[in-house]
Amino acid sequence: MLTTGPKFQEMILRSIRDPAVSPMTEEAFNELALESYAHQREENPVYRRFCEHCREHGRLRGLKDSPQSWKDIPALPISAFKAHEVLSFPRERIIRDFVTSGTSYDG
């Protein structure tokens, strides 16, 4: 698993720098998505609880352990962002906070 090392960070940066120059294959995208999933699940308590709930209630497409494809990764519902602070690192490390009307509306 690469989730905390420089190779994982480089995978992410390479994927967003210039996709036209080095387009990402399905296999590379799958690897990056699975690494990101593992990182989020390990470091994000809200997402970890959601994944555990999905597993307990059979919502991970029958998988017992980890997803094998990006298509199996459970998406955190918008309601979780409205009800919880969803972070994968300490709050003090936030440099910029982006919000959208889709997840920040209180009415």
The string of pLDDT tens digits covering residues 60-107 is 655 556 788 998 888 898 888 888 888 888 888 888 877 776 655 554
Please, what is the angle between helix 26-43 and helix 6-17, to 10°? 130
Higher pLDDT, 9 or 84: 84
Q: What is the pLDDT of residues 22-51, one digit of tens each?
A: 677 888 889 888 988 988 888 899 999 998
Which pLDDT belongs to residue 72? 87
pTM for the full model?
A: 0.71
Overall residue count recorded for the chain in this entry: 107
Rounded to an integer, what distance in angstroms lies between the CA atom of residue 32 and that of residue 38?
10
Answer for the pair 76, 41: CB distance below 8 angstroms, yes or no: no
